[in-house]
Amino acid sequence: MTPSHQDTLAALSDLQSQPLSIIRVSEPISNPTNPTTTNARISDISASGLTNDTTNPTSISLAADLSHYRDLFSKLRFSYLEQVTKEKFLRAIVGDPPLIIENAENVELESQLGEVKAVLKEQKEHVARMVQELERKGRELAGRYEQIGLQTELLGQLPREIQGWEDKIRKLREETKGSMVGMGGGLGLDRVLEMTREKDRQKKEVERELKALQGEIPGRGGVLERLEGELKGLDREKEKAVEGAREAVKNRESGGAVGDGLEMRGRWLKGCDEGLRGLLGVEG
C-alpha cells in the first residue's frame, strides 16, 4: 500500500525533531538504542560539546569543535609521553640493580622504533584519507539535510495548495457547465474535433473572400473617384442652371421677355442630377 502524504510528512517531521549529532547519526536508524544507555556512554567532554549547539549544528561550529578537540588531544598526547618517559627513567635509576641499556640494545630499539614509526605514518595517512572522505560526505549530507528541510516545507504546503486548486477547478466547472454544453462540451472527442475542423474550414473561406474583396478595393476606388468628379461637374452646372432660373424668374416677374430654352435646360440638368444621385446612392 502506497503511504499517503500525511504519513510521509509525519515521518519527516519525526526525524527532523531529533537533534542532529555525530553520535546519533552513527546509531542504526532501523534499530535505535535506548537513550539512557546512549547517554551513559557519552563522556563529560562529549556531553558538554553536544549540549553546546545541538539544535542547529553548522559546518562552522563543527569545524571549531574539531579544532578544539584536536588541540586537546595533542596536549594530552604530549602529557602522556612526558609522564611515561619520566616514569621509565625513574624506574631505571632507582631499580636494584639499576637498568643499564647498552649501545646494541639502543640500535635494536631504534630499528624497532623506525618500523613502528613507518606503520604509524601509514596509519596516519589512512586516517587522514578517512577524515577527508568523512568531511566530503559530511558536507554532502549537510546539503542533503538542508534540501530535505526545504522540500519538507514545500510538501507541507502542497496539500493546502492542491485543495485550493481543486476548489477553483470545481467552481469553474460549475460556472461553465451550461456554456460548455452549448459549445459541445457534452459531445465526444471525435465530434468536437470534427466541429473544430469545420470552424477552421469556414475561417479559411472567410479569409479567402476577405482577400478577394481587398484586391477589388483599388479598382472600386478609381471608379468612385471618377464618379465623384462627374458629380462635381454636374453640381457646377446645376448651380449655373439655378442661377439662370432665378434670373429668368426675376425677368418674368418684371415682365421682360425670357427665353424658354434656359428654363428647359435647367429642368433637364435637374433631372439628370437627381437620376445620377439615385444611381450612386448619394443624398442631395
- Out of 27-31, 107-111, 116-120, 148-152, the most confident range is 116-120
pLDDT band for position 130 (cuts 50, 70, 90): very high
Residue that wins the pLDDT comparison between 275 and 131 = 131
**What is the sign, positive or negative, of the torsion defined by CA atoms of 16, 19, 24, 30?**
negative
37 vs 134: which has the higher pLDDT: 134
126 has a pLDDT exceeding 90: yes
Give a three-class secondary structure readout of the chain. CCCCHHHHHHHHHHHHHCCCCHHHHHCCCCCCCCHHHHHHHCCHHHHHHHCCCCCCCCHHHHHHHHHHHHHHHHHHHHHHHHHHHHHHHHHHHHCCCCCCCCHHHHHHHHHHHHHHHHHHHHHHHHHHHHHHHHHHHHHHHHHHHHHHHHHHHHHHHHHHHHHHHHHHHHHHHHHCHHHHHHCCCCCCHHHHHHHHHHHHHHHHHHHHHHHHHHHHHHHHHHHHHHHHHHHHHHHHHHHHHHHHHHHHHHHHHCCCCCCHHHHHHHHHHHHHHHHHHHHHCCCC
pLDDT for 83 equals 92
Residue 168 has pLDDT above 50, yes or no: yes
Of residues 19 and 4, which shows the higher confidence score?
4
pLDDT given for residue 215 in this prediction: 78
pLDDT tens by residue, 85-102: 898 888 878 877 777 777
Least confident of 28-32, 71-75, 202-206, 220-224: 28-32
pLDDT digit string (tens) for 64-87? 888 899 899 999 989 999 999 898
Percent of the chain with pLDDT over 70: 71
Question: What mean pLDDT comes out for the span 165-170?
Answer: 90
pLDDT of residue 56: 61
